[in-house]
Structure 1
Amino acid sequence: MLRVNCVVAVLVSAVFALADAGWGAETADGAGTKPSVERRDDGRPEAAVETSGGRGREAARPAANLGEVIVRARRPLSSASSEEIRALDFALRPHGTLQEILNNVPGLVVAQHQGGGKAPQWLVRGFDGDHGTDFAVFVDEMPVNLVSHAHGQGYADVNFVIPETIQRLQLYKGPYFPEFGDFANAGALQIVTKDEFPQPFAFAEGGSFGTHRYVFGGSPRLGEWQTLVAGQAYFSDGPFRNPQDYARYNAFAKLRRAWDAGKELTVSGGVYAGDWKASGQIPLRAVQQGFLALAPLDLLPQAPTRPFDRFDAIDPTEGGKTDRQYLTFRYRFAPSAKEEWSLLAWGQRYKLALFSNFTFYKDTGLRFAERGGRIVDLSGEVFDPTLFYLPGDGIEQNDSRVLYGGRVQYTRYWFLPLAGPSAGLPARTRVAVETRHDHVSLHLHRQVRRQRFFTVNAVQVEERSVSGFLDQQLFLSDWLRIEAGLRGDVFFFDGRDRLPPGTGLLDPVLEECVGQTDPNFCAVAIRGNVTDSIVSPKANFIVSPTQTTDV
């Protein structure tokens, strides 16, 4: 991609300023004065100290003032199955989307299909987590996975995250961590955003297939608050014959303030909207033979054909529309160096209309056709070889919800007493209670080119959960530590059928419900309340034979 970045002007000015300052100027004896440069993770110079080439001589110029000193922990207190990827690891790699960043994470593969706006496929160490069914995703501790989703349980769409706002990624591989419950069978991903930008920026990118992106960000001064504001607009047609017309708009803001006595408050929120078309799945035989018949050949052997390749589509109106708004509050209080309280509250509003067509003509046959610029239903009419029949097996999955939740967590660092002069074995204990509530409205429609012709179901779902966990770390030595924990989750489900009696596609067993005068006759079938729970013990033994290796 081609990038035009206003920051370049600042860097160029800095280079000329350093040249004017006399870096590399010769001293009286001809020896060159050489700067020693410390660099940040992003490659920018941190500080410069000049040394003279002549022995015993003073430097030609005074040393520059030291700037900010950044200290980073190389080995966070975690198990061998977790990994932290900071901004440095992906800052030097070109990226225009979050997916490109995620695919640089060892052990994680993220794949997109059916246009750019759908939640990706998550694969962790070869385990297929689908769209998030078995892989938990969080942004600043706010859950992304959606329960009882119209397209699939655990649907995790991260397109609302702007790549430039990411500070680090924390990948947890496997179900070994008590802080993660629902959806974390294959692992979990924590996306942590920055608190502020070092300087404002704005740039534009462009490339093949009509792809272009516009991003800006900055951290305006607001008293004692750290601030971050960012926005993005992304567009792409994709490589297909039918342009996907993908448009994505993002905005994000964050406020953070730290007080004395270890108090810290962070408020963040954002909005996101996406709209796209997709070419969908296509039959391999049509690609191999190089043409597509405009009507099934078993019904019309002499049907006209058109050229067809791997970038073509049978139903080019697949795709969808989605939007999301979210807000999080996080408060941390550390009354001493040994303990910390953490409170989290979050809320989201989410919508999705997803259009798919997996079987084309299988269920509806030659039922729909385009006549006079309109889609008409030809059920019961005689087959007309002059018409172009449309694939009528399309579905529309609608999901609209409001969800909110929170967590209270207490962390304490202590020492397990031992006999002798030693202070004991270092340990960490965490206790937390969290809750979540989803108000969900789900609809499934049959559609042809995004025009509905039948409603399959309409369901109202109330799903709540209450969870808690205890996590204990004990460091037996420099090379051996133990992590053990216990987690409990309780789920409450309440589902209601919103279709009028006698409509929709009911199971034959439930057809007897229609026309019953007793309102309780089919109460279980029409409305259900279920409660379930699970207790999950966790245990890890981590051996570190070298300073950089955990087993």
Structure 2
Amino acid sequence: MNHILSKRLLSVTLCVCLVSALCWGDSASAHDPDEPELEVPEVAVLGEKPVAASSQQFIPDKEIILQPQGRPAQVLRLIPGFVAVEHSGGAGKADQYFLRGFDADHGTDVGFFLDGMPINLRTNAHGQGYTDLNFIIPETIEGVDVHKGSYLPEYGDFATAGAVNFRTRNMVKEGVIQGAGGEYSTQRYLLMFSPTKDRVRTLFAAEGFYTNGPYLNDNQYYRTNLLGKVTTNLTGRDEVSFKATFLHSKWDGSGEIPFRAVSTGLLDRFGSINPYEGGNTLRTTGNLNYHYDTTTGGQFFANAYGQYYRLDLFTDFTFFLNDPINGDGFAQFDRRAIYGGDLGFKQRIELLGMPIIGTVGFQTRVDDVHTKLGTQTLRTPTGTAIDSDVRSVSYSPFVKTEVQPFSWLRLSGGVRGEFFTFDVSNRCTTCVEQPDGRKGSGIVLPKMSIIVGPWARTEFFVNYGDGFHSNDARSAVAIGASPLARARSYEVGVRSRPWGQAGL
């Protein structure tokens, strides 16, 4: 009897399901095509990636777009303790950077990257680590990773006081056509749009900028920027993107002037002694990024890049001190090709109940440089002091391990190796300075971080790490010179958010 009842109950259930399916099909087929479809609003779930140091920071694009966009380096002012300023009278040159007491000059002790591609220039005509950020269009930046100190094995040359990585967005939801202007004939024009936004995401941007600045000798700073980026997924587990940028700019600089001339009224503080200072620069870059997520919790990542760079810079610090007739102006010329890449693998596992993340990677970079220093009058070369061909090559393996033995304790550590070769060829047999030679050098850089917490939304950090910057190859090949300069950093910090992610 129970068996028959069960069969009847099953039959009734199947009939009800069948009728329900038919009714659903009828209602779907009877949908009015003119009736607007409901759009489900996008829901963004925000979370913060665990950090290795209390000073580590991520700057989202919503903060970047609120800043004045005359100079890309202004984005850096969002970083606590970071100062970026113009010098030598007007825009055009790379800014001067200050971080945590380091006068990093134009980038000697802060590593800058764009989607993992290095921006600092080795053996630059104007200064070691010279970093001109003017090829970045701020609106194309999705966010900025900020790492103070030298505690991460992923970052090497110039990342002594810290490292900054600009991340570009893959697309924009809506196109942008923008024009703005202000004092000193300042004008800025922006075009940005994404033709495709689904499987293939594209981003194209163009920027034009001009300003005269407040100086009596007009800055006449022109800047043209272009960016194109294509991102797609070859499978359901990977992402590949290619990005290209172009910068061309030129400017007139007012230069540095003696304070005594201003204080006595001989010269206006916005005046100039040599109105022929200034320069022009060109930079093109191409960058290919790829990553693949395995089915076992691992990730393979690769990055390849190529760059061409040109700089003509005309400066005058001492005016007519050494040459009363022709003046003391000097010219710096730089032509280079840069190419390199990264390769690595990251794996997540669990051992004895402890989550562990291990990373191994290898980075290499080649700079082929022709750099020249000489004298000039009214931007016309009058002599040569140094003329060199330089080939600088680096090989950088690294390993990193992150372990969480307890819910309140995280450990992170690793080591990075740096191996350099410097090859300098003199091109001027009559010059006063004739650097020439070949040298190799290496350095091992340990890193360590201990994170305790969180308790009441509060974590405590202890960090230690060795960083370094390479020296100009022309001086590095000299007998007794040290090609690589080590910097040791450590910090103790606390990070607390008692009011949650949004803060006050």
TM-score between the two structures when normalised by the length of structure 2: 0.81
1:484 aligns with 2:484: no
Change (3 A) 1:87 1:550: farther
Equivalent of residue 80 in structure 2, options 82, 85, 106: 106
Q: Helix, strand or coil: the match of 1:359?
A: coil
Q: For 2:143 and 2:245, locate their aligned partners in 1 and report how far apart those are by CA, in whole Å.
A: 18
Change (3 A) 1:246 1:411: same
Change (3 A) 1:128 1:535: same
Change (3 A) 1:264 1:88: same
Query: What is residue 301 of structure 2 aligned with on the other side?
Result: 342
Task: Give 2:444's aligned amino acid.
Answer: V
Query: What is residue 329 of structure 1 aligned with on the other side?
Result: 288
The number of equivalent residue pairs is 424
Q: Deviations over 1:399-455 (max 9, x none)?
A: 1000100110100111231xxxxxx12221110011111110011110112111111
Query: What is residue 177 of structure 2 aligned with on the other side?
Result: 202
Change (3 A) 1:65 1:223: closer
Relative contact order higher in (CA < 8 Å, ≥ 6 apart) = 2
Query: What is residue 449 of structure 1 aligned with on the other side?
Result: 378
Structure 2 unaligned blocks of 5 or more:
1-35, 462-504
Equivalent of residue 547 in structure 1, options 448, 451, 457: 457
Q: Is the 8 A contact 1:80 1:542 kept in 2?
A: no
Q: Is the 8 A contact 1:315 1:357 kept in 2?
A: yes
Q: Helix, strand or coil: the match of 2:345?
A: strand
1:287 aligns with 2:262: yes
Change (3 A) 1:546 1:99: farther
Task: Give 2:288's aligned amino acid.
Answer: F
Query: What is residue 478 of structure 2 aligned with on the other side?
Result: none
Q: For 1:496 and 1:111, locate their aligned partners in 2 and report how far apart those are by CA, in whole Å.
A: 35
Change (3 A) 1:548 1:169: farther
Task: Give 1:547's aligned amino acid.
Answer: R
Query: What is residue 505 of structure 1 aligned with on the other side?
Result: 432
Q: For 1:63 and 1:477, locate their aligned partners in 2 and report how far apart those are by CA, in whole Å.
A: 49
Runs of 4 or more consecutive aligned structure 1 residues displaced over 6 Å after TM superposition: none
TM-superposed CA distance for 1:223, in Å, is 7.2
Q: Helix, strand or coil: the match of 1:367?
A: coil
Q: Helix, strand or coil: the match of 1:164?
A: helix
Change (3 A) 1:80 1:478: farther
Q: Deviations over 1:173-232 (max 9, x none)?
A: 011111111111111000000000011110101001111100010000287310000000
Q: Is the 8 A contact 1:162 1:232 kept in 2?
A: yes
TM-score between the two structures when normalised by the length of structure 1: 0.74
Q: For 2:382 and 2:161, locate their aligned partners in 1 and report how far apart those are by CA, in whole Å.
A: 39
Query: What is residue 116 of structure 1 aligned with on the other side?
Result: 91
Equivalent of residue 367 in structure 1, options 314, 325, 333: 325
Q: For 1:171 and 1:326, locate their aligned partners in 2 and report how far apart those are by CA, in whole Å.
A: 22
Q: For 2:275 and 2:301, locate their aligned partners in 1 and report how far apart those are by CA, in whole Å.
A: 48
Change (3 A) 1:218 1:526: closer
1:432 aligns with 2:390: no
Q: For 1:206 and 1:289, locate their aligned partners in 2 and report how far apart those are by CA, in whole Å.
A: 35
Q: Deviations over 1:355-402 (max 9, x none)?
A: 1111111211x213xxxxxxxxxxxxxxxxxxxxxxx11111111000
Query: What is residue 227 of structure 2 aligned with on the other side?
Result: 252
Q: Is the 8 A contact 1:261 1:334 kept in 2?
A: no
Q: For 1:312 and 1:250, locate their aligned partners in 2 and report how far apart those are by CA, in whole Å.
A: 29
Q: Is the 8 A contact 2:233 2:239 kept in 1?
A: yes
Change (3 A) 1:337 1:148: same
Q: Helix, strand or coil: the match of 1:159?
A: helix
Q: For 2:307 and 2:372, locate their aligned partners in 1 and report how far apart those are by CA, in whole Å.
A: 20
TM-superposed CA distance for 1:258, in Å, is 1.5
1:357 aligns with 2:316: yes
1:131 aligns with 2:106: yes
Q: Is the 8 A contact 1:400 1:441 kept in 2?
A: yes
Equivalent of residue 40 in structure 2, options 49, 63, 66: 66
Query: What is residue 276 of structure 2 aligned with on the other side?
Result: 317
Over the aligned positions, Cα root-mean-square deviation in angstroms equals: 1.8
Q: Deviations over 1:288-325 (max 9, x none)?
A: 1001xxxxxxxxxxxxxxxx211001112111100000
Q: For 1:74 and 1:283, locate their aligned partners in 2 and report how far apart those are by CA, in whole Å.
A: 49
Query: What is residue 467 of structure 1 aligned with on the other side?
Result: 396
Q: Helix, strand or coil: the match of 2:133?
A: coil
Change (3 A) 1:130 1:393: same
Q: Helix, strand or coil: the match of 1:69?
A: coil
Change (3 A) 1:255 1:449: same
Q: For 2:451 and 2:277, locate their aligned partners in 1 and report how far apart those are by CA, in whole Å.
A: 47
Equivalent of residue 531 in structure 1, options 417, 437, 440: 440
Q: Deviations over 1:496-543 (max 9, x none)?
A: 1101x3x1214xxxxxxxxxxxxxxxxxx7630100000001111123
Q: For 2:347 and 2:52, locate their aligned partners in 1 and report how far apart those are by CA, in whole Å.
A: 16
Q: Helix, strand or coil: the match of 1:130?
A: coil
Query: What is residue 469 of structure 2 aligned with on the other side?
Result: none
- The 5 Å alignment of 1:22-37 reads none
Equivalent of residue 89 in structure 1, options 42, 53, 63: 63
Change (3 A) 1:289 1:496: same
Change (3 A) 1:274 1:478: farther
Q: For 1:78 and 1:261, locate their aligned partners in 2 and report how far apart those are by CA, in whole Å.
A: 30
